[in-house]
Structure 1
Amino acid sequence: MSERRGYTVWLTGLSGSGKSTLAQALQQALIQRGQPVEILDGDEVREYLSTDLGFDRAGRDANIKRIGYVARLLARHGVAVITAAISPYRETRETVRELHGNNFIEVYVQASVEACAKRDVKGLYQRALRGEIPQFTGVSDPYEAPLQPEVTVVTERETVAQSLAKILAYLEQAGYLPGRDVSLGTAGNG
């Protein structure tokens, strides 16, 4: 058997778009396929590795670069890394892509500000719309959507299962995962 290929699935999108939910679903699917996997969630990385950073552009860029660096280290050792971080700036995501070489899969978790605001149990969007939270991505700070992501999921129109299926199909087609053998267990193999 060949050495397992590590890679990073970079989930990017607005707060509340479904990145963390999708990351957890993808993690379970990869575990079921025997893949070692780690999730690097933007909120957790902020809490443990980036408490020194603010939410201005420089702070956000530094945070994303830290996540990218840790992801590359894990992927280099055969781990499937799933990141769930807003990562609002295209240029910074491209810097992280270059760090990973060919083992980077950008997934645009697309949802409108309106859909994200409806899902927001913490009320952050309402506070941002009232001007109480400065530099809130998608409201008072830009989100630069990917121009050519490997996969786009539209979470306000797709179920988690449908979005997950798109990502898994890409991973299989690109050779990161073996395809499922649907012929196993069929009758009449005589």
Structure 2
Amino acid sequence: MPLDELLTPPDRQQREARQDHRGVALLLTGLPAAGKSTLAHALEARLLALGGQCLVLDGDRLRAGLNQDLGFTESERQENLRRAAEVAALLVEAGMVVPMAMIAPLASHRQLLAERLGADYREVWCRAALHTCERRDPKGHYALARAGKLADFTGVSAPYEPPQTPALILDCDTRSVAQNVKRLLQWMATERLLGPSLQRALSSH
């Protein structure tokens, strides 16, 4: 192979063709404890098993590292999302599927992501009732918020604005994680985010 070809990095189209799927950022938005992170990681595992390339951007992990200097004021929430969008844009450019498990509680927050990511952005509402999320409460945050010990907690002391026109709604009240991952992958195939090889692999499993 000529040296000049070795020094030329693959472009996005080449990466997407090799991986047989489009690069896309999927915002999995919903109330705390709706199941966003669980679903995102289950999707990641499923896509990797099928031969795709996927990396989860989890809101909690971002706040523990890249965004550990940020709190929960409105301006800090926006900066948190802005940084996440920049990371997602880099991964999408590499042709990866990027599930973003983030609350993004306000329409303005989601608009910020949509404007930065453009045609590479899809909004998926992980819909679950507040009482369902409180019953799950794996971190005990709802209980703390109800006791007045956790300020600005979405769903209790801070608002969550349900998406008005999401690309997809997943029922995280009554459907299992496996059912929702299957639904999400079927939708991705319909939207032509998955290529023919991945679709064949999906249909054979």
Measured in 1, the distance between the counterparts of 2:53 and 2:180 equals 21
Structure 2 portions without partners, runs of 5+: 1-12, 17-21
Please give the residue correspondences for 1:1-190 in structure 2 after superposition, counting only pairs within 5 Å: 3=14, 4=16, 5-178=22-195, 180-181=199-200
Higher helix share: 2
TM-score normalised by structure 1 residue count: 0.91
Residue aligned with 1:171, SS: helix
- Kept in 1, the 8 Å contact 2:44–2:55? The answer is yes
Measured in 1, the distance between the counterparts of 2:54 and 2:139 equals 29
What is the deviation of 1:181? 3.3
Aligned residue in 2 for 1:188: none
What is the deviation of 1:83? 0.8
Aligned length: 183
What is the deviation of 1:158? 0.8
Instruction: Output one character per residue of 1:5-33: Cα deviation in whole Å (capped at 9) or x when no partner.
Output: 21111101111000011011100111122
TM-score normalised by structure 2 residue count: 0.84
2:113 is aligned with what amino acid?
V
Aligned residue in 1 for 2:10: none
Structure 1 portions without partners, runs of 5+: 186-190
- Kept in 2, the 8 Å contact 1:36–1:79? The answer is yes
Q: CA RMSD in A?
A: 1.6
Measured in 1, the distance between the counterparts of 2:138 and 2:43 equals 23
- Kept in 2, the 8 Å contact 1:151–1:166? The answer is no
Measured in 2, the distance between the counterparts of 1:162 and 1:6 equals 23
What is the deviation of 1:121? 2.6
